[in-house]
């Protein structure tokens, strides 16, 4: 069995991203979110998410923009629940561990945990706790003539 190297460059970040999304898009719990709801175009998404991880893990400063907004938009189409976040983190950690080992690989898992928790808290604030009615909708009514 060969030793796993640490994440060291953009190619490693892309390898991780492609392996993770290949797994997630075919996952029984998460796949529909990527394929049917988000209709994710993987080839256009990979460079951007690789930029994100290369920036986080290697300090590349390639990623700009907010990562939360697309997730909030996805949540508006199909409410995200705790199990979705747990599964995403499980698949991410498993993928990292299968491909890499070292301090940067550990950072990849730790950062995913932080992002996952933060996103879940923000989504829960939008959705309310599981079992709660959906987000409040504000409507404006005019008096009838």
Q: What is the pLDDT of residues 21-40, one digit of tens each?
A: 999 999 999 999 999 999 99
Between 64 and 7, residue with greater pLDDT: 7
All structural domains of the chain? 10-127 (1.10.490.10)
pLDDT at position 2 is 58
Which token pair is 104? 């940067």
Angle 10-25/82-99 helices, nearest 10 degrees?
130
Q: What share of the chain is helix, strand, coil (3-state, %, to 5)?
A: 65, 0, 35
Say how far apart CA 98 and CA 94 lie, in whole Å: 6
Give the DSSP H/E element, type plus range, for residue 7. Answer: none
What 8-state DSSP symbol labels residue 70?
H
* Residue 138 binned pLDDT confidence (cut-offs 50, 70, 90): very low
* Residue 137 binned pLDDT confidence (cut-offs 50, 70, 90): very low
pLDDT tens digit sequence for 8-21: 999 999 999 999 99
Which token pair is 27? 């996952």
What number is the average pLDDT over the span 57-68? 85
pLDDT tens digit sequence for 97-117: 999 999 999 999 999 999 989
Which token pair is 65? 């923009």
- Which phi and psi (to 5°) does residue 133 adopt? -60, 160
Residue 144 has pLDDT above 80, yes or no: no
Least confident residue range of 54-63, 77-86, 88-97, 123-132: 123-132
Residue 70 has pLDDT above 50, yes or no: yes
What integer best gives the mean pLDDT of the chain? Answer: 87
pLDDT at position 112 is 95
CB atoms within 10 A of CB 30: 20
């Amino acid at each position: 069995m060969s030793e796993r190297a640490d994440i060291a460059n953009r190619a490693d970040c892309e390898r991780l991203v492609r392996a993770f999304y290949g797994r997630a898009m075919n996952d029984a719990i998460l796949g529909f979110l990527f394929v049917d709801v988000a209709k994710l175009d993987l080839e256009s998404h990979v460079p951007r998410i690789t930029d994100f991880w290369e920036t986080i893990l290697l300090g590349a400063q390639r990623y700009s923009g907010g990562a939360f907004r697309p997730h909030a938009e996805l949540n508006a189409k199909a409410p995200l629940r705790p199990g979705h976040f747990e599964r995403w983190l499980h698949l991410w950690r498993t993928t990292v561990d299968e491909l890499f080992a070292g301090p940067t690989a550990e950072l990849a898992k730790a950062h995913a945990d932080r992002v996952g928790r933060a996103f879940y808290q923000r989504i829960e604030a939008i959705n309310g706790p599981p079992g709660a009615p959906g987000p409040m909708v504000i409507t404006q009514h005019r008096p009838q003539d």
